[in-house]
Amino acid sequence: MFNSANELEFLEETTAEISQLSSLALSGDPACSENSSAGSPEKTGYPDSVYILAANIFQGTRLEKSPEKALIKYGNEPLPSSTESEDESFQRLSYELAFSALKYQDILETILIDSYIFPSTTIPDHLNSLIIVMLYDFQDRKFQARLLSGNEESIAEVLEVENLLNSFKTKLAAALARCRIKHDALSIYHILPETVRNQELRASTLPLYAWINTCKISPEEVYYTLKKNGYNKVKSVLHIDNKVFAVDQHCYDVLIFPSHLKSDLLNIDLFKDYKLIFQDKSRSLAVHSVKALLNMDDDILMVNTGSWYTVAHMSVLTNNNTSKIFVCGVQSQAKDPDLKNLFTKMGCKNIEILHETFMKLELKDHRLQKVKVILLLPRCSGLGVSNPVEFILNEHEDTDLLKDFSQGGPSEDKLHVLAQQQYEQLAHAMKFTRAQAIVYCTCSVYPEENEAIVKKALEFQDHEIKVQPYRLSPPVLPLCSLKEIHLSTDKFFRMEPSEITNGCFISVLTRERDPSETVSVKDVLARAAAKGLLEGIELGKSSKREKKKKKQKMSLPKSSIADNSGIQMKIAEFLSRETNVRKPSKPTTNPLVPTIMKNTSARPHERPTNFVRSRPEDRMIPLKPIEIALPPVILPFPSPQGIRSHLPTPHFYYRWVGPKTVLPGYLSTPSILRRGEKPKENLPSSLPRHPRP
- Distance spanning both ends of the chain, measured CA to CA: 108
CB 245 within 8 A of CB 280: no
**CA proximity to 188, closest of 26, 19, 23, 18:** 26
Q: Where are the alpha helices (DSSP H) in 554-672?
A: 557-581
Rounded Cα distance between 423 and 328, Å, is 18
Within 13 Å of residue 110, how many CA atoms lie on the same side as its CB?
14
Check 251, 328, 443, 504 and give the catalytic one. Answer: 443
Question: What b/e readout covers 80-110, taking b as 16+ CB neighbours within 10 angstroms?
Answer: ebeebbeeeebbebbbbbbbbbbbbbebbbb
- 412 Cβ contact partners less than 8 Å away, ≥ 6 residues apart: none
Residue 348: active-site member: no
Helices (H) and strands (E) in the chain, counts: 24, 17
Rounded Cα distance between 58 and 132, Å, is 9
Rounded Cα distance between 584 and 589, Å, is 15
Residue 633's region, left for phi above 0, alpha for psi from -120 to 50, else beta, is beta
Alpha-carbon distances of 500 from 204, 206, 277, 281, rounded to whole Å:
11, 5, 18, 10
- 293 Cβ contact partners less than 8 Å away, ≥ 6 residues apart: 372, 373, 436, 437, 439, 476, 508, 510
Rounded Cα distance between 37 and 92, Å, is 21
CB 634 within 8 A of CB 666: yes
- 488 Cβ contact partners less than 8 Å away, ≥ 6 residues apart: 474, 475, 479, 494
Alpha-carbon distances of 248 from 211, 255, 276, rounded to whole Å:
10, 6, 14
CB 446 within 8 A of CB 294: no
The secondary structure of 225-251 as a DSSP string is: HHHHTT-EE-S--TT--SSEEEE-SS-
Rounded Cα distance between 610 and 471, Å, is 62
Catalytic residues: 443
